[in-house]
Structure 1
């Protein structure tokens, strides 16, 4: 994984998470800001999938378990669409909170993926 890309993804994930939780707890229903933040996060995760395929071919293999890394990556890529789907099915303030929690969960998973890729074998 590339450190700067990991940091960008973390910032977007934490930002989407905090915005979702704060807006949800203040009573706002899902809107363009919360759904757009998760859409941007999903775009970054798709780019991460492409980089995870290309990096070993370019001489940057993971130091940890490749299976564990891919399970984290696929799971993280499924969380934002699941949060948006939930928000579209149940348009309440709690679905906005759920979208925020999904963003925060992705942040934790992205950091764990970075650790698996760079630190595990050290």
Structure 2
């Protein structure tokens, strides 16, 4: 994993999470802005998948368990899709909060993926 990309993804996911939770608690229903925030997070996660495939081929293999890393990554990629589907099916203020919770969960998962990739010595 690339550290600066991971830090940028964490910052963007956390900002999207705070934005969506704040909008939801303020009574806003899912909108283009809240769903779009999760779409940006999803695009960055897809970029992370590409990096995770290419990095070991260029001499940057994970030091932790690759299976654990990939389970985190695939789960993180599926999380925004599920949250957006939820928000589109149940258009209430709580679905906007769910979008935010999903984004914060992704930020936490990204940090754990970075730890698995670079900190553990196998």
TM-score class, shorter-chain normalisation, is over 0.9
What's the CA shift string for 1:5-61, capped at 9, x where partnerless? 001100110011001100000000000111111000000000000110000000000
Q: Secondary structure at the match of 1:45?
A: helix
Alpha-carbon distance in 1 for matches of 2:34, 2:20: 6
User: Which sections of structure 2, spanning at least 5 residues, go unmatched?
Assistant: none
Structure 1 residue 69 and structure 2 residue 69: aligned? yes
Q: Which residue of 2 aligns with 1:18?
A: 18
Q: CA RMSD in A?
A: 0.8
Give the structure-2-normalised TM-score.
0.98
User: 1:58 is matched with which residue?
Assistant: 58
2:5 maps to 5
1:93-116 residue CA offsets vs partner (Å, 9 max, x unmatched) = 000000000000000000000000
Hey, what's the Cα distance between the residues in 1 that align with 2:76 and 2:108? Answer: 9
Distance across 2 between alignment mates of 1:121 and 1:31: 44
2:96 is equivalent to residue 96 of structure 1 = yes
